[in-house]
Structure 1
Amino acid sequence: MNQQHRFIFWGVLLIVVLLSVSSITFPIFVAQTIKNQNVICIDAGHGGCR
């Protein structure tokens, strides 16, 4: 494995690890942030008109 292939391998591995960690911690952060607050949910209603 040459130098360029190693660089690509470690770069891809780093991206995968960062995405894995963020997908675990982000929902927890959001849940703690909106706790005890009013939340307004707006539905776009893309069902179409007849």
Structure 2
Amino acid sequence: WPTNVVEDMIGALRENREPLINGSEGRKSLELVKAIYESDRTEKVMKLPL
């Protein structure tokens, strides 16, 4: 197993395979982090998807 997602992505590109964490899953994670920051900034509950 790769030690991090960057190594896995490089391996996926070299080996012509899907990475362990694909773009769709990465986007969901980013959206969650953005919602956390926005909730803290506005002191409101955020609904997903943004």
Same fold (TM over 0.5): no
With structure 1 as the length reference, what TM-score do the two structures score? 0.43
Provide the TM-score with structure 2 as the length reference. 0.43
